[in-house]
Structure 1
Amino acid sequence: MLALSGVDLHVDEGEFVSIVGASGCGKSTLLRLILGLDTDYEGEVRIDGVRVKTPGLDRAIVFQDHRLLPWLNVRSNIAVALRHSPLGKAEKAERVDAQMRLVGLERFSDAYPAQLSGGMAQRVAIARALVNRPRFLLLDEPLGALDALTRLRLQNELLRIVRQEGATAILVTHDVDEAVYLGDRVVVMRPDPGRVATVLSVSGPQTHDRSSPGFIGLRDQVLALLGVAYNGAELSLAREADAREAAPA
Protein backbone atom coordinates (compact mmCIF):
# COMPACT_ATOMS: atom_id res chain seq x y z
CA MET A 1 0.00 0.00 0.00
CA LEU A 2 1.36 3.41 -1.02
CA ALA A 3 1.68 5.67 2.05
CA LEU A 4 3.11 8.80 0.41
CA SER A 5 3.30 10.07 -3.14
CA GLY A 6 4.94 13.10 -4.70
CA VAL A 7 5.92 14.79 -1.44
CA ASP A 8 8.29 17.68 -2.20
CA LEU A 9 9.03 19.84 0.83
CA HIS A 10 11.88 22.18 1.78
CA VAL A 11 12.34 23.30 5.40
CA ASP A 12 14.60 26.24 6.24
CA GLU A 13 16.92 26.24 9.23
CA GLY A 14 15.22 27.59 12.36
CA GLU A 15 11.75 27.22 10.87
CA PHE A 16 8.75 25.75 12.71
CA VAL A 17 6.68 23.76 10.21
CA SER A 18 3.30 22.27 11.13
CA ILE A 19 1.94 19.31 9.16
CA VAL A 20 -1.79 18.77 9.49
CA GLY A 21 -4.15 16.20 8.01
CA ALA A 22 -6.49 13.35 8.79
CA SER A 23 -5.32 9.99 10.14
CA GLY A 24 -3.77 7.82 7.46
CA CYS A 25 -2.37 10.59 5.27
CA GLY A 26 1.27 9.68 5.99
CA LYS A 27 2.23 12.44 8.43
CA SER A 28 4.01 10.15 10.89
CA THR A 29 5.56 8.16 8.04
CA LEU A 30 7.11 11.39 6.77
CA LEU A 31 8.68 12.02 10.20
CA ARG A 32 10.11 8.49 10.25
CA LEU A 33 11.74 9.13 6.86
CA ILE A 34 13.29 12.37 8.11
CA LEU A 35 14.47 10.63 11.28
CA GLY A 36 16.08 7.88 9.20
CA LEU A 37 14.07 4.98 10.67
CA ASP A 38 12.47 3.98 7.36
CA THR A 39 14.73 3.55 4.35
CA ASP A 40 12.64 1.44 1.95
CA TYR A 41 11.20 4.18 -0.26
CA GLU A 42 11.69 5.92 -3.58
CA GLY A 43 13.10 9.44 -3.52
CA GLU A 44 15.47 11.18 -1.14
CA VAL A 45 15.54 13.03 2.17
CA ARG A 46 18.51 15.39 2.34
CA ILE A 47 20.03 17.56 5.06
CA ASP A 48 22.48 20.16 3.73
CA GLY A 49 22.56 18.18 0.50
CA VAL A 50 23.54 14.90 2.22
CA ARG A 51 21.09 12.02 1.91
CA VAL A 52 19.61 10.71 5.18
CA LYS A 53 20.32 6.98 5.51
CA THR A 54 20.28 6.33 9.27
CA PRO A 55 19.17 8.05 12.49
CA GLY A 56 21.59 10.61 13.89
CA LEU A 57 22.09 12.84 16.93
CA ASP A 58 21.24 15.86 14.76
CA ARG A 59 17.57 14.71 14.79
CA ALA A 60 15.34 13.96 17.78
CA ILE A 61 11.68 13.06 18.11
CA VAL A 62 8.94 13.48 20.71
CA PHE A 63 5.93 11.15 20.48
CA GLN A 64 2.35 11.46 21.74
CA ASP A 65 3.25 9.01 24.51
CA HIS A 66 6.13 10.39 26.58
CA ARG A 67 7.84 6.95 26.63
CA LEU A 68 9.72 7.66 29.84
CA LEU A 69 11.39 4.74 31.58
CA PRO A 70 9.31 4.16 34.75
CA TRP A 71 12.27 2.94 36.84
CA LEU A 72 14.29 6.12 36.20
CA ASN A 73 13.74 9.55 37.73
CA VAL A 74 13.46 12.78 35.72
CA ARG A 75 17.20 13.44 35.70
CA SER A 76 18.05 9.92 34.59
CA ASN A 77 15.33 9.83 31.93
CA ILE A 78 16.87 12.91 30.33
CA ALA A 79 20.43 11.65 30.78
CA VAL A 80 19.69 8.35 29.02
CA ALA A 81 19.64 10.20 25.69
CA LEU A 82 23.33 11.04 26.21
CA ARG A 83 24.50 7.44 26.50
CA HIS A 84 26.18 7.57 23.06
CA SER A 85 27.44 11.12 23.46
CA PRO A 86 31.22 11.71 23.50
CA LEU A 87 30.80 14.29 26.29
CA GLY A 88 32.44 13.73 29.65
CA LYS A 89 30.49 12.97 32.82
CA ALA A 90 30.56 16.57 34.09
CA GLU A 91 29.47 17.97 30.72
CA LYS A 92 26.59 15.50 30.53
CA ALA A 93 25.43 16.52 34.01
CA GLU A 94 25.55 20.19 32.97
CA ARG A 95 23.50 19.43 29.86
CA VAL A 96 20.85 17.61 31.90
CA ASP A 97 20.68 20.43 34.46
CA ALA A 98 20.29 22.97 31.66
CA GLN A 99 17.43 21.03 30.09
CA MET A 100 15.61 20.65 33.40
CA ARG A 101 15.82 24.42 33.85
CA LEU A 102 14.64 24.95 30.29
CA VAL A 103 11.44 22.98 30.87
CA GLY A 104 10.98 24.20 34.45
CA LEU A 105 11.45 20.87 36.23
CA GLU A 106 14.50 21.52 38.42
CA ARG A 107 12.48 20.82 41.59
CA PHE A 108 11.33 17.46 40.22
CA SER A 109 14.71 16.02 39.24
CA ASP A 110 14.30 13.06 41.61
CA ALA A 111 10.63 12.37 40.77
CA TYR A 112 9.61 9.26 38.84
CA PRO A 113 7.20 9.22 35.88
CA ALA A 114 4.33 7.87 37.99
CA GLN A 115 4.64 10.97 40.20
CA LEU A 116 4.34 13.42 37.29
CA SER A 117 1.31 14.90 35.56
CA GLY A 118 0.85 14.27 31.84
CA GLY A 119 2.11 17.76 30.99
CA MET A 120 5.18 17.38 33.18
CA ALA A 121 5.99 14.00 31.65
CA GLN A 122 5.83 15.51 28.16
CA ARG A 123 8.16 18.29 29.26
CA VAL A 124 10.64 15.63 30.36
CA ALA A 125 10.29 13.98 26.94
CA ILE A 126 10.98 17.32 25.24
CA ALA A 127 14.03 17.89 27.47
CA ARG A 128 15.30 14.39 26.65
CA ALA A 129 14.90 15.08 22.93
CA LEU A 130 16.79 18.38 23.18
CA VAL A 131 19.62 17.33 25.51
CA ASN A 132 21.86 16.38 22.55
CA ARG A 133 21.13 19.81 21.05
CA PRO A 134 19.76 18.41 17.78
CA ARG A 135 19.32 20.64 14.76
CA PHE A 136 15.92 19.11 14.06
CA LEU A 137 13.15 18.47 16.58
CA LEU A 138 10.44 16.20 15.18
CA LEU A 139 7.12 16.30 17.03
CA ASP A 140 4.63 13.48 16.43
CA GLU A 141 1.37 14.60 18.12
CA PRO A 142 3.32 15.40 21.32
CA LEU A 143 0.36 17.12 23.00
CA GLY A 144 -2.44 14.93 21.65
CA ALA A 145 -3.05 12.95 24.86
CA LEU A 146 -3.30 15.98 27.16
CA ASP A 147 -6.39 17.74 28.43
CA ALA A 148 -7.38 20.95 26.65
CA LEU A 149 -6.02 23.43 29.20
CA THR A 150 -2.70 21.62 29.63
CA ARG A 151 -2.39 21.39 25.88
CA LEU A 152 -2.81 25.15 25.47
CA ARG A 153 -0.21 25.85 28.14
CA LEU A 154 2.28 23.43 26.62
CA GLN A 155 1.80 24.91 23.16
CA ASN A 156 3.17 28.17 24.56
CA GLU A 157 5.98 26.31 26.36
CA LEU A 158 6.88 24.37 23.22
CA LEU A 159 7.07 27.53 21.14
CA ARG A 160 9.26 29.20 23.78
CA ILE A 161 11.59 26.21 24.08
CA VAL A 162 12.05 25.75 20.33
CA ARG A 163 12.76 29.47 19.84
CA GLN A 164 15.20 29.52 22.76
CA GLU A 165 17.08 26.45 21.53
CA GLY A 166 17.14 27.62 17.91
CA ALA A 167 16.04 24.22 16.64
CA THR A 168 14.26 23.52 13.37
CA ALA A 169 10.92 21.97 14.36
CA ILE A 170 8.52 19.84 12.34
CA LEU A 171 5.20 19.16 14.06
CA VAL A 172 2.61 16.56 13.04
CA THR A 173 -0.87 17.22 14.42
CA HIS A 174 -4.60 16.69 13.83
CA ASP A 175 -5.35 19.96 15.59
CA VAL A 176 -5.74 22.77 13.04
CA ASP A 177 -5.65 25.55 15.66
CA GLU A 178 -2.42 24.10 17.04
CA ALA A 179 -0.88 23.88 13.58
CA VAL A 180 -1.64 27.52 12.82
CA TYR A 181 -0.63 28.79 16.27
CA LEU A 182 2.77 27.08 16.33
CA GLY A 183 3.83 27.03 12.70
CA ASP A 184 5.71 29.48 10.54
CA ARG A 185 4.19 27.47 7.72
CA VAL A 186 1.33 24.95 7.67
CA VAL A 187 1.61 21.94 5.37
CA VAL A 188 -1.85 20.56 4.58
CA MET A 189 -1.88 16.87 3.61
CA ARG A 190 -4.56 14.75 2.01
CA PRO A 191 -4.79 10.92 2.12
CA ASP A 192 -5.04 8.00 -0.33
CA PRO A 193 -2.08 8.21 -0.89
CA GLY A 194 -0.59 10.81 1.45
CA ARG A 195 0.32 13.95 -0.44
CA VAL A 196 0.84 17.66 0.13
CA ALA A 197 -2.31 19.57 -0.81
CA THR A 198 -0.79 23.00 -0.19
CA VAL A 199 1.64 24.92 2.01
CA LEU A 200 0.43 28.10 3.73
CA SER A 201 2.63 30.79 5.26
CA VAL A 202 1.77 32.05 8.74
CA SER A 203 2.91 35.67 8.65
CA GLY A 204 2.50 38.57 11.04
CA PRO A 205 1.95 38.59 14.82
CA GLN A 206 -1.85 38.62 14.45
CA THR A 207 -1.85 35.12 13.01
CA HIS A 208 -0.55 33.86 16.38
CA ASP A 209 -3.44 35.51 18.22
CA ARG A 210 -6.25 32.94 18.33
CA SER A 211 -8.95 35.64 18.40
CA SER A 212 -7.57 37.73 15.53
CA PRO A 213 -9.19 37.79 12.07
CA GLY A 214 -5.85 36.69 10.59
CA PHE A 215 -5.72 33.55 12.74
CA ILE A 216 -9.38 32.69 12.20
CA GLY A 217 -9.12 33.24 8.46
CA LEU A 218 -6.06 31.02 8.12
CA ARG A 219 -7.62 28.33 10.30
CA ASP A 220 -10.77 28.31 8.17
CA GLN A 221 -8.66 28.14 5.02
CA VAL A 222 -6.86 25.05 6.32
CA LEU A 223 -10.19 23.45 7.28
CA ALA A 224 -11.58 24.14 3.83
CA LEU A 225 -8.53 22.50 2.24
CA LEU A 226 -9.15 19.47 4.44
CA GLY A 227 -12.75 19.36 3.27
CA VAL A 228 -14.14 20.15 6.71
CA ALA A 229 -16.79 22.80 7.36
CA TYR A 230 -16.15 24.59 10.66
CA ASN A 231 -19.31 25.41 12.59
CA GLY A 232 -17.87 26.49 15.93
CA ALA A 233 -17.91 22.98 17.42
CA GLU A 234 -14.77 21.14 18.47
CA LEU A 235 -13.23 19.41 15.45
CA SER A 236 -11.68 15.93 15.35
CA LEU A 237 -10.05 15.10 12.04
CA ALA A 238 -9.14 11.72 13.46
CA ARG A 239 -12.80 10.77 13.86
CA GLU A 240 -13.55 11.89 10.33
CA ALA A 241 -10.73 9.73 8.99
CA ASP A 242 -11.74 6.72 11.07
CA ALA A 243 -15.29 6.97 9.77
CA ARG A 244 -14.05 7.03 6.19
CA GLU A 245 -11.79 4.01 6.73
CA ALA A 246 -14.61 2.05 8.38
CA ALA A 247 -17.01 2.63 5.49
CA PRO A 248 -17.66 -0.42 3.30
CA ALA A 249 -15.75 -0.54 0.02
Structure 2
Amino acid sequence: MRPLVSLLLQHPGWMGVLAGVFGVLALRLPMFVIPAAALVALPILREGPWHGGVALLTGSAVVAAGWAGLGLPPGQWLPLVFVLWPVIAPMAEVLRRTGKLGPALLMAAAAMVAGILAMHWATGDVVDFWQNWLQRTLATIPGASERMGAEAGGLRLMNGFLALLLGLSLFLALLLARWLQFRANGRAGVAAEFRQLQLPLWVLPLTVALIWAGGLRDPALLSDLLMIGILLYFFVGLAVLHGVFQVRGWRPA
Protein backbone atom coordinates (compact mmCIF):
# COMPACT_ATOMS: atom_id res chain seq x y z
CA MET A 1 0.00 0.00 0.00
CA ARG A 2 2.81 2.41 0.86
CA PRO A 3 4.26 2.54 -2.71
CA LEU A 4 0.78 3.09 -4.19
CA VAL A 5 -0.08 5.91 -1.79
CA SER A 6 3.32 7.54 -2.33
CA LEU A 7 2.86 7.35 -6.10
CA LEU A 8 -0.62 8.89 -5.94
CA LEU A 9 0.63 11.69 -3.71
CA GLN A 10 3.11 12.65 -6.43
CA HIS A 11 0.22 12.95 -8.92
CA PRO A 12 -2.76 14.68 -7.25
CA GLY A 13 -4.76 14.45 -10.46
CA TRP A 14 -4.70 10.66 -10.30
CA MET A 15 -5.54 10.86 -6.61
CA GLY A 16 -8.59 12.87 -7.63
CA VAL A 17 -9.54 10.29 -10.25
CA LEU A 18 -9.46 7.54 -7.62
CA ALA A 19 -11.45 9.73 -5.21
CA GLY A 20 -13.95 10.32 -8.01
CA VAL A 21 -14.29 6.58 -8.64
CA PHE A 22 -15.17 6.08 -4.99
CA GLY A 23 -17.54 9.02 -5.28
CA VAL A 24 -19.31 7.36 -8.20
CA LEU A 25 -19.55 4.11 -6.23
CA ALA A 26 -21.13 6.15 -3.43
CA LEU A 27 -24.02 6.93 -5.78
CA ARG A 28 -25.11 3.35 -5.16
CA LEU A 29 -23.29 2.42 -1.92
CA PRO A 30 -23.12 5.45 0.40
CA MET A 31 -20.34 4.02 2.61
CA PHE A 32 -17.86 4.77 -0.18
CA VAL A 33 -18.10 8.49 0.63
CA ILE A 34 -15.59 7.90 3.44
CA PRO A 35 -12.67 6.71 1.25
CA ALA A 36 -13.68 9.29 -1.37
CA ALA A 37 -13.40 12.09 1.19
CA ALA A 38 -10.19 10.64 2.65
CA LEU A 39 -8.49 10.66 -0.75
CA VAL A 40 -9.23 14.38 -1.13
CA ALA A 41 -7.98 15.13 2.39
CA LEU A 42 -4.79 13.09 1.98
CA PRO A 43 -2.92 15.37 -0.49
CA ILE A 44 -3.86 18.39 1.64
CA LEU A 45 -2.38 16.75 4.73
CA ARG A 46 0.79 15.81 2.90
CA GLU A 47 1.40 18.63 0.42
CA GLY A 48 -1.01 21.45 1.15
CA PRO A 49 -4.20 22.98 -0.26
CA TRP A 50 -3.01 23.36 -3.87
CA HIS A 51 -2.56 19.60 -4.33
CA GLY A 52 -5.83 19.02 -2.54
CA GLY A 53 -7.57 21.46 -4.86
CA VAL A 54 -6.32 19.57 -7.90
CA ALA A 55 -7.59 16.29 -6.44
CA LEU A 56 -10.94 17.84 -5.54
CA LEU A 57 -11.53 19.36 -8.97
CA THR A 58 -10.48 16.19 -10.78
CA GLY A 59 -12.65 14.05 -8.53
CA SER A 60 -15.60 16.40 -9.03
CA ALA A 61 -15.33 16.01 -12.80
CA VAL A 62 -15.34 12.21 -12.46
CA VAL A 63 -18.34 12.24 -10.12
CA ALA A 64 -20.22 14.67 -12.38
CA ALA A 65 -19.69 12.27 -15.29
CA GLY A 66 -20.92 9.36 -13.18
CA TRP A 67 -23.89 11.42 -12.04
CA ALA A 68 -24.83 12.15 -15.64
CA GLY A 69 -24.53 8.50 -16.60
CA LEU A 70 -26.03 6.75 -13.59
CA GLY A 71 -28.34 9.35 -12.11
CA LEU A 72 -29.08 9.55 -8.39
CA PRO A 73 -30.84 7.09 -6.08
CA PRO A 74 -34.50 7.85 -5.24
CA GLY A 75 -34.81 10.76 -2.82
CA GLN A 76 -31.24 12.00 -3.25
CA TRP A 77 -30.68 15.47 -4.72
CA LEU A 78 -26.89 15.64 -4.95
CA PRO A 79 -23.93 13.23 -4.89
CA LEU A 80 -22.90 12.83 -1.27
CA VAL A 81 -19.26 13.68 -1.95
CA PHE A 82 -20.30 17.16 -3.07
CA VAL A 83 -21.46 17.71 0.52
CA LEU A 84 -18.40 16.22 2.21
CA TRP A 85 -15.53 17.46 0.04
CA PRO A 86 -15.99 21.22 0.65
CA VAL A 87 -15.96 20.57 4.41
CA ILE A 88 -13.19 18.01 4.73
CA ALA A 89 -10.77 20.14 2.70
CA PRO A 90 -10.51 22.91 5.35
CA MET A 91 -10.60 20.27 8.10
CA ALA A 92 -7.51 18.64 6.58
CA GLU A 93 -5.76 21.99 6.24
CA VAL A 94 -6.43 22.81 9.90
CA LEU A 95 -5.05 19.42 10.95
CA ARG A 96 -1.99 19.95 8.75
CA ARG A 97 -1.27 23.33 10.34
CA THR A 98 -2.05 22.50 13.97
CA GLY A 99 -1.27 18.79 14.20
CA LYS A 100 -4.31 18.44 16.48
CA LEU A 101 -7.54 16.57 15.84
CA GLY A 102 -9.64 18.69 18.22
CA PRO A 103 -10.04 21.73 15.93
CA ALA A 104 -10.90 19.46 13.00
CA LEU A 105 -13.57 17.70 15.08
CA LEU A 106 -15.04 21.10 15.98
CA MET A 107 -15.23 21.93 12.27
CA ALA A 108 -17.20 18.74 11.66
CA ALA A 109 -19.56 19.76 14.47
CA ALA A 110 -19.88 23.25 12.98
CA ALA A 111 -20.87 21.69 9.66
CA MET A 112 -23.56 19.74 11.51
CA VAL A 113 -24.88 22.91 13.15
CA ALA A 114 -24.96 24.72 9.81
CA GLY A 115 -26.81 21.85 8.15
CA ILE A 116 -29.35 21.52 10.94
CA LEU A 117 -30.12 25.24 11.14
CA ALA A 118 -30.26 25.56 7.35
CA MET A 119 -32.83 22.77 7.11
CA HIS A 120 -35.00 24.29 9.85
CA TRP A 121 -34.79 27.73 8.26
CA ALA A 122 -35.44 26.52 4.71
CA THR A 123 -38.30 24.12 5.47
CA GLY A 124 -40.06 25.75 8.42
CA ASP A 125 -41.13 22.28 9.61
CA VAL A 126 -38.51 19.59 9.13
CA VAL A 127 -40.83 16.79 10.25
CA ASP A 128 -43.38 17.73 7.61
CA PHE A 129 -40.59 18.11 5.05
CA TRP A 130 -39.23 14.62 5.69
CA GLN A 131 -42.75 13.20 5.69
CA ASN A 132 -43.32 14.59 2.20
CA TRP A 133 -39.86 13.45 1.13
CA LEU A 134 -40.60 9.92 2.33
CA GLN A 135 -43.89 9.80 0.46
CA ARG A 136 -42.30 11.04 -2.78
CA THR A 137 -39.39 8.65 -2.46
CA LEU A 138 -41.48 5.59 -1.68
CA ALA A 139 -43.76 6.43 -4.60
CA THR A 140 -40.81 5.73 -6.93
CA ILE A 141 -40.16 2.28 -5.39
CA PRO A 142 -42.81 -0.33 -6.31
CA GLY A 143 -44.40 -1.83 -3.21
CA ALA A 144 -42.28 0.20 -0.80
CA SER A 145 -45.13 2.33 0.57
CA GLU A 146 -46.95 -0.66 2.01
CA ARG A 147 -43.83 -2.05 3.66
CA MET A 148 -42.27 1.15 4.98
CA GLY A 149 -45.03 3.70 5.46
CA ALA A 150 -45.45 2.68 9.10
CA GLU A 151 -41.95 3.89 9.87
CA ALA A 152 -42.84 7.55 9.33
CA GLY A 153 -43.11 8.07 13.10
CA GLY A 154 -39.32 8.14 13.31
CA LEU A 155 -39.04 11.14 11.03
CA ARG A 156 -38.73 13.51 14.00
CA LEU A 157 -35.17 12.18 14.40
CA MET A 158 -34.38 12.14 10.69
CA ASN A 159 -32.76 15.57 10.46
CA GLY A 160 -30.47 15.06 13.44
CA PHE A 161 -29.59 11.53 12.40
CA LEU A 162 -28.48 12.67 8.95
CA ALA A 163 -26.43 15.46 10.53
CA LEU A 164 -24.79 12.89 12.81
CA LEU A 165 -23.95 10.72 9.81
CA LEU A 166 -22.40 13.77 8.16
CA GLY A 167 -20.20 14.50 11.17
CA LEU A 168 -19.19 10.86 11.60
CA SER A 169 -18.33 10.48 7.93
CA LEU A 170 -16.22 13.64 7.94
CA PHE A 171 -14.18 12.72 11.00
CA LEU A 172 -13.74 9.06 10.07
CA ALA A 173 -12.59 10.10 6.60
CA LEU A 174 -10.08 12.49 8.15
CA LEU A 175 -8.75 9.73 10.42
CA LEU A 176 -8.42 7.43 7.41
CA ALA A 177 -6.54 10.11 5.49
CA ARG A 178 -4.23 10.68 8.45
CA TRP A 179 -3.54 6.94 8.69
CA LEU A 180 -2.74 6.77 4.97
CA GLN A 181 -0.42 9.75 5.36
CA PHE A 182 1.53 8.06 8.14
CA ARG A 183 1.66 4.85 6.12
CA ALA A 184 3.10 6.74 3.17
CA ASN A 185 5.71 8.26 5.49
CA GLY A 186 6.60 4.82 6.79
CA ARG A 187 5.83 5.56 10.42
CA ALA A 188 3.13 5.06 13.02
CA GLY A 189 1.49 7.81 15.00
CA VAL A 190 -2.25 7.94 14.34
CA ALA A 191 -3.09 6.11 17.57
CA ALA A 192 -0.92 8.45 19.65
CA GLU A 193 -2.42 11.50 17.94
CA PHE A 194 -5.94 10.21 18.56
CA ARG A 195 -5.21 9.64 22.25
CA GLN A 196 -4.31 13.33 22.51
CA LEU A 197 -7.71 14.42 21.18
CA GLN A 198 -9.04 17.18 23.42
CA LEU A 199 -11.61 19.95 23.18
CA PRO A 200 -11.39 23.41 24.79
CA LEU A 201 -13.24 23.78 28.10
CA TRP A 202 -15.67 26.29 26.61
CA VAL A 203 -17.05 23.73 24.15
CA LEU A 204 -19.16 21.90 26.75
CA PRO A 205 -21.08 24.93 28.10
CA LEU A 206 -21.51 26.26 24.58
CA THR A 207 -22.92 22.93 23.39
CA VAL A 208 -25.30 22.72 26.35
CA ALA A 209 -26.45 26.31 25.80
CA LEU A 210 -27.01 25.66 22.10
CA ILE A 211 -29.09 22.55 22.79
CA TRP A 212 -31.08 24.36 25.50
CA ALA A 213 -31.78 27.36 23.26
CA GLY A 214 -32.84 25.06 20.44
CA GLY A 215 -35.22 23.22 22.76
CA LEU A 216 -36.89 26.47 23.78
CA ARG A 217 -37.61 27.26 20.17
CA ASP A 218 -38.59 23.84 18.81
CA PRO A 219 -38.50 20.33 20.36
CA ALA A 220 -37.40 18.93 16.99
CA LEU A 221 -34.46 21.34 17.00
CA LEU A 222 -33.46 20.13 20.47
CA SER A 223 -33.19 16.51 19.32
CA ASP A 224 -31.25 17.59 16.24
CA LEU A 225 -28.72 19.67 18.17
CA LEU A 226 -28.29 16.91 20.74
CA MET A 227 -26.53 14.93 18.00
CA ILE A 228 -23.70 17.49 18.05
CA GLY A 229 -22.88 16.69 21.66
CA ILE A 230 -23.08 12.99 20.87
CA LEU A 231 -20.55 13.35 18.06
CA LEU A 232 -18.10 15.51 20.02
CA TYR A 233 -18.00 13.56 23.24
CA PHE A 234 -18.24 10.14 21.63
CA PHE A 235 -14.85 10.69 20.02
CA VAL A 236 -13.40 12.41 23.11
CA GLY A 237 -14.55 9.51 25.27
CA LEU A 238 -13.15 7.03 22.78
CA ALA A 239 -9.79 8.81 22.90
CA VAL A 240 -9.79 8.63 26.71
CA LEU A 241 -10.59 4.91 26.63
CA HIS A 242 -7.86 4.35 24.08
CA GLY A 243 -5.40 6.11 26.39
CA VAL A 244 -6.48 4.04 29.40
CA PHE A 245 -6.09 0.82 27.42
CA GLN A 246 -2.62 1.88 26.27
CA VAL A 247 -1.46 2.85 29.78
CA ARG A 248 -2.80 -0.39 31.25
CA GLY A 249 -1.10 -2.39 28.55
CA TRP A 250 -4.35 -3.99 27.44
CA ARG A 251 -3.49 -3.18 23.83
CA PRO A 252 -0.16 -2.67 22.07
CA ALA A 253 0.84 0.99 21.76
**TM-score, with normalisation over the residues of structure 1?**
0.27
More strand by share: 1
Higher relative contact order (CA 8 A, sep 6+): 1
User: Which of the pair has more CA radius of gyration?
Assistant: 2
